Amino acid sequence: MITALIFFAHIMFILVIFTKKWQDESLASGLTNAALIVVLFAVGWSISTTLIKIVFEPQGLGMHYDSDAIALTLLAIAEFFFYKMYYKEKPKITVTEKEK
């Protein structure tokens, strides 16, 4: 269940970023950003799974929180901070600031 929740959160994030970039910039930018998220998810999941398998047994911490769910949780936390920095809104320049 935790795994499904993390996958759903990633799908929603892809849709939000795709739509935002498509509306603000272009369709190509939206598709590029969606592809970036998919690639980083795939590579990050592989790396986090490798790290978690060193520390935890395959059954993990219980029936619903196995090593794959732990790896996805670790990935989601790392991605949260990365994307928060990567997609940070740039401050908008107002008319009064342009005149200075």
How many other C-beta atoms are found inside a 10 Å radius of the C-beta of residue 73? 17
For residue 64, what pLDDT is reported?
A: 74
pLDDT band of 27, cuts 50, 70, 90: very high
Place of tokens 């978690």: 52
| Count of the separate structural domains present in the chain | 1
For residue 17, what pLDDT is reported?
A: 93
For residue 99, what pLDDT is reported?
A: 60
Cα distance between residue 78 and residue 69, in whole Å: 14
Cα distance between residue 88 and residue 81, in whole Å: 11
pLDDT band of 100, cuts 50, 70, 90: low
Domain extent, residue 74, equals 2-99
Tokens in use for 37? 């998220």
Cβ 22 vs Cβ 29: under 8 Å: yes
